Amino acid sequence: MSRITPLVAGNWKMNGMREQAAEIGKLAESLEKDPVDGVDVMICPPATLVMPFAELMKDNRIEIGGQDCHPLVSGAHTGDISAEMLADSGATAIIVGHSERRADHGETDALISEKAQATWRAGLVAIICVGETNGQRSYGLTLDVVRRQLKNAVPDGATAQNTIIAYEPVWAIGTGLTPTVEDVKKVHDDIRSVLVERFGSENGGGMRLLYGGSVKASNAAELMSVENVDGALVGGASLKADDFLGIINSYKS
Ligand code: PEP
């Protein structure tokens, strides 16, 4: 039995208006009525909803996270948002290095490492995303790509408390495709051994490793039961409380 408390985190991406507070309200209510023990739950809404959601959830066990941050605290960076601003709004974690940011904004591992350090500077947890594209996978490069991303995007100060790694094969995000459980195990085992070697057994061995990519209620139990999978980062299926609850419920004993 793993000593790591799993986390099911929802990434809402660029979806959600204030009225979607009803969904997170429904989620909180359901978890209150029918608690699922031993699993942490987080929603990462667009930046506009971080503060209202954090206020709504302040007496609740659902944490609120950001989806990205600028490496600096403040300054002339129009349209950007700092980790400190997200902390000030009530976020407890920030996703950095999501493949959509790597693809849409040309984010490099070096920049992602700076963003992770900014997240820590603000006292928050960095959820650092790694994962191979379909092309890289077809050339058998999955482990090489993930190892390179871990080496360059995860800064030296990573601990079990300040960092979560999300393995998200790019080809599985939003496609309905998922790797086999054997493939997920192979990659997660490899990530674990890389982290233990670099950060030691306490930190590398205690860091949460999330799987992300087309997780839904119907495949969550199977994926979440894989060794070294300590939860999920969920996109599409986190937008509706019922769908997301179906995933969280895979941790019901
Ligand atoms: C994601 O974008 O982090 C993700 C996992 O998306 P989906 O669950 O929709 O594949």
Q: Hey, CA dihedral for 85, 88, 90, 93, is it positive or negative? A: positive
So what's the pLDDT on residue 49?
98
**Cα 103–chain centre separation:** 17
pLDDT tens figures, 127-176: 999 999 999 999 999 999 999 999 999 999 999 999 999 999 999 999 99
The CA distance from 99 to 11, in Å, is: 12
**In 3-state terms, what secondary structure has residue 135?**
helix
pLDDT at 115: 98
**Ligand 1 atom at minimum distance from 129 CA:** 3
Residue 148 is predicted with a pLDDT of: 98
Ligand 1 centroid vs 235 CA: distance in angstroms? Answer: 3
The pTM (predicted TM-score) of the whole model is: 0.98
Kindly list the catalytic residues: 98, 168
pLDDT, mean of residues 57-72:
96
Contact 204, 192 (CB under 8 A): yes
Q: Is 233 in the pocket of ligand 1 (CB under 6 A)?
A: yes
What is the rounded distance in angstroms from the CA atom of residue 186 to the CA atom of residue 180?
A: 10
CA 170 to ligand 1 centroid distance, Å: 9
Does residue 1 surpass a pLDDT of 90? no
Q: Which domains does the chain have, with CATH numbers?
A: 7-251 (3.20.20.70)
DSSP state string for 92-139: SEEEES-HHHHHHH---HHHHHHHHHHHHHTT-EEEEEE---HHHHHT
pLDDT at residue 76 in the model: 98
